[in-house]
Structure 1
Amino acid sequence: MSGSELSGGLRHGAVQPDATSQEIYDAGMAVRREVLGGAHVDRANAAKDGFTEDFQDMITRIAWGGIWTRPGLSRPMRSAVTITAMVAHGHWEELAMHLRAAITNGLSRDEIKEILLQTAIYCGVPSANTAFKTAQQVFHEMDAATDTSQPKTTPTPPN
């Protein structure tokens, strides 16, 4: 990225000086859907009520529109940072969601394994142990979903 791009609006992602709140929200929702999947976002939006609506709006605008749209880090790098934060703070349900997102964002299972090994040193072995169990379960679920979506064929017996 050139210096002129950094001095212009590109360094801010969706949060441009003249961006409306709606534009930031829309950009955040687009990234949120791309990263987490439409089904997950639809479930989160369907579950919101008067108590949680402001929170859902905030994470869409600030986390997804304000941070995930910025060009300074790739999505795989953002996923790596997010995985580490989830492990560090013991947010296991969020970790599971972001492990799926990391695969969507282009991280391989081997790269995720390396991230989790790194967390063992900096976040603690007990946290990494739970993270590995969580990843193992997520990958098993992903594999099972892939296997059930494949048409079952009966092998032809040899002649």
Structure 2
Amino acid sequence: MEWGLANSNQQFLWAVRRGIISGSEWIEFVPDGFIEKMKGRVLIVKWAPQKEILAHFTVGGFWSHCGWNSTLESISEGIPMLCQPFIVDQGVNARYVTHMWKIGLELEYFERGEIESMIRRLMVLEKGDEIRVRANQIKELVKKQ
């Protein structure tokens, strides 16, 4: 995951909860050289106010597990999603985001090249522009309700 993020050449905020990796306290699982390579492009924090961050004008995408709250927060701010569902409703939510509403892309293979490719598709390629337009259209529909 780390090298897929790095190789995408995008800036990102990464919220990593303590103990998320069994046996780790925080980010000691990050490979050697990663933080140095990413200097100036990454901010790694233990917690972040998700809703406020998604509302910030500089946010271009959201890598999400597609839980319902996260999905709604992203939709409400018009932020395109990179979907990586894990359990229960997340798979259904991700399918709606990607196939019905077409405001995100689903990460199907958790592999560095796939991660890099999907981030670039969402953030810098034409496909991402199309997704961003639809995400903003849905945001405006939500505001009207």
TM-score class, shorter-chain normalisation, is: 0.3 to 0.5
TM-score by length of 2: 0.32
TM-score by length of 1: 0.30
Please state which structure has a larger fraction of its residues in strand.
2
